[in-house]
Amino acid sequence: MSTEKIKELKEKFFKVFGEASAIEEFFSPGRINLIGEHTDYNGGYVFPAAITIGTTGLAQLREGKRIRLFSENFSEIGLIEFDLSEVNDKVEGSWENFVKGMIVMLQGAGYKIDKGFDLLVYGEIPTASGLSSSASLELLIGVILDELFHLNVPRLELVQLGQKTENEFIGVNSGILDQFAIGFGKKDEAILLDCNTLKYEMVPVRLGDYSIVIMNTKKSRALTESKYNERFAETRIALERLQTKLDIQSLAELTNEEFDANTNLIGDEILIKRARHAVYENTRCKIAKKVFVAGDLKEFGKLLNASHESLKNDYEVTGIELDTLAETAQKQKGVLGARMTGAGFGGCAIALVKTEKIATFEKAVGDKYLKVVGYPAEFYVAQIGDGSKKL
């Protein structure tokens, strides 16, 4: 975020709220997931990184119990106002639910939030892009409340309360991948997280002559939440059927071979495919981290391709837009691998591209996408950045 933009936001804050003497500034990133998709809520590994594109917040305490919110992204809505006593009242489709949810969760965990505040938010993450604008906002609110009310919430707890907001207030059964990546991100480091134990390892991102290019389908993702919850439910049923004979708590405890030997317990073809993705993707993620650390980007790229194929055929969360981007990318010269990232059903894909080839890569993939899908994709070169923080 440029100092120029921050200055502009401060002026806006004053214009909107009429008082700006004690503003504090905060930033919360978006994330990409390198590999390990739809494994988090199946007790497996994920390998994400925070990116420098994110959400900026300017906040200030105020006397009384009134909370006032303004989003630069939804300026047509104007000022949103409510009382601290009204935080349980959700408003269908409004971003204020993220603020209310985080307050409810923090208060529920015993933290004292007893005053109103003014908050201006500016998000740079393209909406519904699968780069996790919602977790970015949850953690932004988390660090703001932590700072304004001197709560000293341990970072892991803040991350978990972000996930709780998503699960219990927003109503999406998401795992912890997004909030963890956003809360614990570090410049030029990826995070290998075991979602079962929450043990994690920071892994330096050394790409040499290569860059990660984010490719945005720009597809509006209307059904994402219901489809996501459907996959969550399908893998739960598959697990329950396996548990009739196997002593396991999550799908990720199985090796590929153990899974293959027990598919008869699941029975249903669709459920077998869903569970196979979870098990195989977890195995891939563990191998991917090893080859990544060893600097074998070629092998890493192959695993990215295999991940996409599995998400397409077994988990069925891709669609024509993501498939066109990832599969066209995979065929380009100077590309080691490509896959969708995040929940799927639209949103973004990533590709590991030789830096000097990025321009020709974007042209070739962009042209093909336009031809097949009918509207243009967008491309950004990913910079790996820090997690949520006060600026």
- The two beta strands, 80-83 and 66-71, are antiparallel
Q: Which is nearer to ligand GAF, 282 or 324 (CB)?
A: 282
Residue 150's region, left for phi above 0, alpha for psi from -120 to 50, else beta, is left
Angle at 287 between CA 330 and CA 256, to 5 degrees: 100
Give kind and range of the element (H or E) at residue 60.
Answer: strand 48-62
Q: Do 255 and 278 contact (CB within 8 A), yes or no?
A: no
Does 327 engage in binding with ligand GAF (CB under 6 A)?
no
Which residues neighbour 76 within 8 Å (Cβ) at sequence distance 6 or greater?
A: none
Which residues line the annotated binding site for substrate?
A: 37-40, 228
Q: Which is nearer to ligand GAF, 332 or 341 (CB)?
A: 341
Q: Taking the complex as a whole, how short is the minimal distance between the CB of residue 48 and ligand GAF, in angstroms?
A: 9
As a residue count, the chain comes to 391
Beta bridge partner(s), residue 56 = 27, 122
Does 280 engage in binding with ligand GAF (CB under 6 A)?
no
Does 9 engage in binding with ligand GAF (CB under 6 A)?
no
Does 41 engage in binding with ligand GAF (CB under 6 A)?
yes
Choice from 177, 336, 350, 384 touching ligand GAF (CB under 6 A): 177
Does 178 engage in binding with ligand GAF (CB under 6 A)?
yes
Does 175 engage in binding with ligand GAF (CB under 6 A)?
yes
With H, G, I as helix, E, B as strand and everything else as coil, classify residue 63: coil
Q: Which strands form 335-341's sheet, in the order they lie side by side?
A: 335-341, 348-354, 210-216, 378-381
Does 29 engage in binding with ligand GAF (CB under 6 A)?
no
Choice from 60, 133, 136, 174 touching ligand GAF (CB under 6 A): 174
Does 48 engage in binding with ligand GAF (CB under 6 A)?
no
> How many of the chain's residues bind ligand GAF (CB under 6 A)?
12
Residue 54's region, left for phi above 0, alpha for psi from -120 to 50, else beta, is beta
Q: Do 203 and 192 contact (CB within 8 A), yes or no?
A: yes
Choice from 16, 343, 348, 384 touching ligand GAF (CB under 6 A): 343
Which residues line the annotated binding site for ATP?
A: 71, 128-134
Which residues line the annotated binding site?
A: 37-40, 71, 128-134, 166, 228
Q: Which residues are catalytic?
A: 178
Using CB under 6 A, which residues numbered 198 to 237 contact ligand GAF?
none
Q: Taking the complex as a whole, how short is the minimal distance between the CB of residue 178 and ligand GAF, in angstroms?
A: 4
Site residues, ligand GAF (CB under 6 A): 33, 37-38, 40-41, 132, 174-175, 177-178, 342-343
